[in-house]
A = this chain, B = another copy of it.
């Protein structure tokens, strides 16, 4: 399932995601985008991006979906073995360059992976020490 049409809304969302150094929730996208776009539209758009392998998402511990462009995962679209860090102080969720060794699980069929570490990010930790 690939993207078939170019729209202003899609362009804007992709541009915002390229310019943002961390993951974004649907609400954040709706807020920060210069164009007014309905949340349902953003949900369905992201669904298409994920299906096309352009975007992946990580579910934070409180159950919200955070979306990011697929940059380090050119070949394996589904098995994202990089780590995500959720900061409980500033609320951001980041894609980290650090990767995890995915173990072999005989008998299981892996489709997707989500590695999440929760804590205080470097910025917030630095502020705390001042």
Residues of A within 8 A of B (CB): 59-65, 83, 85, 88, 96, 98-103, 105, 107-122, 125-126
Contacts and interface: CB of A to CB of B under 8 A. Distances in A.
Q: How many copies of this kind of chain does the complex include?
A: 2
Which of A60, A85, A111, A114 is the most central at the interface, judged by chain B CB atoms within 10 Å of its CB? A114
A106 to B, nearest CB: 8
Contacts of A113: 116-118
A119 B114 contact: no
Contacts of A65: 63
Which of A60, A109, A119, A120 is the most central at the interface, judged by chain B CB atoms within 10 Å of its CB? A109
A100 B98 CA distance: 13
Nearest to A79: B117
Nearest to A96: B105
A90 to B, nearest CB: 13
Given A118-B111, A118-B114, A85 B63 contact: no
20 contacts: A59-B62, A61-B112, A63-B64, A83-B105, A85-B108, A100-B100, A100-B103, A100-B115, A105-B117, A107-B122, A108-B117, A108-B119, A108-B121, A108-B125, A111-B118, A111-B120, A113-B116, A113-B117, A113-B118, A114-B115
Contacts of A116: 113-116
